[in-house]
Amino acid sequence: MSLIDQAFQANSNFTRDFDRSLTKVPTPRIAIVTCMDCRLSRLDQMLGLETLDVQVIRNAGAMATEDVIRTLVISIRVIGTEEILIMGHTRCGLNGLHEDEFVAKLADETGTTDGLTIGFMAFTDVENNVREQVQTVRSHPWIPKRIPVRGAVFDVDTGQLRAV
């Protein structure tokens, strides 16, 4: 049985104990931009927040891409989010990725270098990367200046969150 089949099977069990309080319209107070890494999947629990207070926006490396900015603008201006946290993490797969080598490998395997106009956005210092993403979000003209935008790095080995 595939993992997707297992997921559908498990969902039928989940629905029996489904928390109906989660069906109300969410009113998140904080948007967290973080990595797609599965070790960051339970952010509400990790950060002591209520599920419906947290809007999680994920991509590889917690990058403030155009789509992330689009989502944050909707989160703030339509849904009412009041704060933004950019959260990187230790041992991220993009940290230290040699982008040129990776693209060359993809070209060998697929026969083309076409496919991603923005690149993979690899970095060499997670704290510096978080600072750059915070600055990208803070400086965007559609993100209100009244919205706090802060950065942090989650240590996947200790569970500790440290401000950047």
Is there a contact between 54 and 43 (Cβ–Cβ < 8 Å)? Answer: yes
Q: Is 129 helix (H, G, I), strand (E, B) or coil?
A: helix
Q: Which residue has the higher pLDDT, 157 or 15?
A: 157
Based on the structure, what is the number of domains in the chain? 1
The one-letter amino acid code at 5 reads D
- Whether residue 107 is contained in a domain is answered as no
Say which CATH number the domain at 84 has: 3.40.1050.10
Report the pLDDT value the prediction gives residue 146, as an integer from 0 to 100: 97
> Chain-wide mean pLDDT for the chain?
92
Mean pLDDT of 51-80: 95
Integer CA distances (angstroms), 30 to 11, 47, 59, 110, 142, in order: 28, 11, 17, 40, 17
pLDDT of amino acid 46: 92
- Please check whether residue 13 lies inside any domain of the structure: no
Banded pLDDT at 23 (limits 50, 70, 90): confident
Residue 19 placed within a domain: no
Which residue segment(s) compose the domain that 74 sits in? 25-96+122-163
Task: Give the pLDDT band of residue 130 (cuts 50, 70, 90).
Answer: very high
Residue 146 counted as domain residue: yes
Q: Quote the tokens at residue 61.
A: 């490396």
Question: Is residue 112 domain-resident?
Answer: no
Beta strands 54-59 and 149-154, pairing class: unpaired
Residue 17 lies in a domain: no
Question: Where does the pLDDT of residue 28 fall: very low under 50, low under 70, confident under 90, or very high at 90 and above?
Answer: confident
Q: Residue 141: which pLDDT band, with cuts at 50, 70 and 90?
A: very high
- The answer to whether residue 33 is domain-embedded is yes
pLDDT at 115 over 90: no
Strand partners, 120: none
- CA pair distance 155, 125, nearest whole angstrom: 14
Tokens of 21: 């309080």
Does 55 fall in a domain? Answer: yes
Q: Which residues contact 152 (CB under 8 A, 6 or more apart)?
A: 85, 86, 87, 88, 130, 161, 162, 163, 164
Query: Is residue 26 scored above 80 in pLDDT?
Result: no
The rounded percent of the chain whose pLDDT value lies above 70 is: 99
What pLDDT is recorded for position 153?
98
The confidence score (pLDDT) of residue 147 equals 98
